[in-house]
Amino acid sequence: MEVENAIKDMTAKDSFLSHFDLLDFSFDEEFSLDARNEAKELIQWLDFPTSKTEYWKYTRVNKITKGNYKVAAPENEIEIDLSVPTKNCVVLINGYFSEELSFFVPQEGIEFSSLSDAKKSSNVLKEHFNSLVKKDEIFAVINSAYHQDGAFMHVAKNVQAEEPYYILNLVDDENVVSNPRNFIFVEQGANAKVVLKTISTANSGSFTNMVSEIIVDRNAHFEINKIQDEATDSFQIATEQVTQADDSTFKINTFTLNGAIVRNNLNIDSLGKNTMTYLNGLYPLKGKQHVDNHTYLLHREPNGESHELYKGILGDASTGVFNGKVFVHREAQKTNAFQSNANIVMTDTATINSKPELEIYADDVKCSHGSTTGQLDEEALFYLRARGLSKESARAVLVNAFASDVVDMIGVEAVKDEIEKYIDDNYQGIK
């Protein structure tokens, strides 16, 4: 029996990996090829997670891994409005860099380019590439082995980015599998904001397996706003591997607006002294969407502070998963760690699995975690209606209010507008 299962699993994995057989990585640099070979070696020992894998307990990956995918180089004509409020944008199509659609006017001290361009010239990349990715996470390792391209950003010491830098990942065909790979290094005292947006042009049945490595050096400030808005029948697994040096601030805001199955693995494996970390997420779900936010935060040094706020609005037959873990090391005294997950379940058929976790080994810390799940407040709804708001408006007002503390965390005005508009449009909002 066990042998049979093993063979079956191997077949699923092999069949999935066979999609990448035809990829040509001859363009690649030696250090990157080494990373690919190491990853391919690792894959042999790894399997796709099953219902017995604790880390993946609430998310079945069968639908994702059994897709009949293709690796597709970009088409020329893109029928989508790519206008973004910035002078710097890396556009990726199906995991490939689009030279035509990307544009750059980086300020002095900021390198912003495709990953493959950076591989040729960046010493920072050469030194740190693939240094953060977990070796036992099969999807991240697959990305290391088979990524085509991605975005690269390097902010030099003390440089303050004057505007947000955009990374747009576009899926432009049906049944496309892609492994976009991003690398961001923010040097000491620097400050930058990035918007990472994943979209698709059509219903696609595609799978985007994205990995971003982010290094925030001493006293640096970095914010990333992630907007996941691919087609309704698409799949996405996004992994962010983050490390924060002393006195640095890192903020990530994750907005999951669309996609059939979306899984976010957010790992902040190393935090220096006196760090500030914000992890925020909003998932307004519809239809049969399944969205799984996994976060892991390791306070390794003293005086760190982390604030985690994830909010879900679950409609129709959607499913939300929140599993956030904060680990406070023995050495990490005076840590303040706050974790909160709140959900509104709008229907009888929507589901939420919420699991906030604290594991604390230091004795002088302030930590809290909490999870709430409920319906829209009926009393508040009646109060608003009794003052003349329609039922629809009253609902929208309450949903907006619920989401507002996450939306308020967004440091990029255009993103804030976009998310507010999304909520207004989708919950019959009012101005």
Partner 1 sequence: MISIKNLHASIEGTEILRGLSLEVKAGEVHAIMGPNGSGKSTLASVLAGRDEYEVTEGSVDFLGNDLLDMEPEDRSRAGLFLAFQYPVEIPGVSNINFLKTAINEAREKRGEEPMAAKDFLARVKEKSKLVELDGKLANRSVNEGFSGGEKKRNEIFQMAMLEPKLSILDETDSGLDIDALRTVAFGVNQLKTTDNASIVITHYQRLLDYIVPDFVHVLYKGRIVKTGTKELALELEEKGYDWIIKDLEEVSA
Which positions touch partner 1 (CB under 8 A)? Answer: 377, 379-380, 382-391, 393-394, 397-398, 400-402, 404-405, 430
Angle CA 282–287–292, to nearest 5: 40
89 vs 394, which CB is nearer to partner 1?
394
Q: How far is the CB of 375 from partner 1 (least distance, A)?
A: 15
Q: 197 — alpha (psi -120 to 50), left (phi > 0) or beta?
A: beta
In this structure, the number of other CB atoms found within 10 A of the CB of residue 431 comes to 4
User: Under a CB-based contact definition with an 8 Å cutoff, are residues 245 and 216 in contact?
Assistant: yes
DSSP E strand boundaries for 46-164: 89-93, 96-97, 110-114, 151-155
Dihedral angle, C-alpha 68, 74, 75, 78, nearest 10 °: 110
Q: How far is the CB of 400 from partner 1 (least distance, A)?
A: 7
Q: How far is the CB of 282 from partner 1 (least distance, A)?
A: 13
249 vs 393, which CB is nearer to partner 1?
393
Q: How far is the CB of 206 from partner 1 (least distance, A)?
A: 36
Please give the Cα distance from 354 to 358 (Å, whole number): 13
79 vs 379, which CB is nearer to partner 1?
379
Radius of gyration of the chain (CA): 21
Q: How far is the CB of 105 from partner 1 (least distance, A)?
A: 38
Q: How far is the CB of 377 from partner 1 (least distance, A)?
A: 8
Q: How far is the CB of 403 from partner 1 (least distance, A)?
A: 8
Q: How far is the CB of 253 from partner 1 (least distance, A)?
A: 17
75 vs 392, which CB is nearer to partner 1?
392
Please give the Cα distance from 229 to 199 (Å, whole number): 5
186 vs 399, which CB is nearer to partner 1?
399
Please give the Cα distance from 257 to 286 (Å, whole number): 9
In this structure, the number of other CB atoms found within 10 A of the CB of residue 7 comes to 10
DSSP state of 385: H
Please give the Cα distance from 250 to 244 (Å, whole number): 7
358 vs 376, which CB is nearer to partner 1?
376
167 vs 394, which CB is nearer to partner 1?
394
User: Under a CB-based contact definition with an 8 Å cutoff, are residues 430 and 401 in contact?
Assistant: no
Please give the Cα distance from 186 to 157 (Å, whole number): 8
246 vs 377, which CB is nearer to partner 1?
377
In this structure, the number of other CB atoms found within 10 A of the CB of residue 269 comes to 15
Please give the Cα distance from 312 to 319 (Å, whole number): 10
Amino acid in position 263: R
Please give the Cα distance from 361 to 359 (Å, whole number): 7
333 vs 400, which CB is nearer to partner 1?
400
Angle CA 63–67–68, to nearest 5: 165
Q: How far is the CB of 396 from partner 1 (least distance, A)?
A: 9
55 vs 383, which CB is nearer to partner 1?
383
Please give the Cα distance from 15 to 21 (Å, whole number): 10
Please give the Cα distance from 359 to 56 (Å, whole number): 19
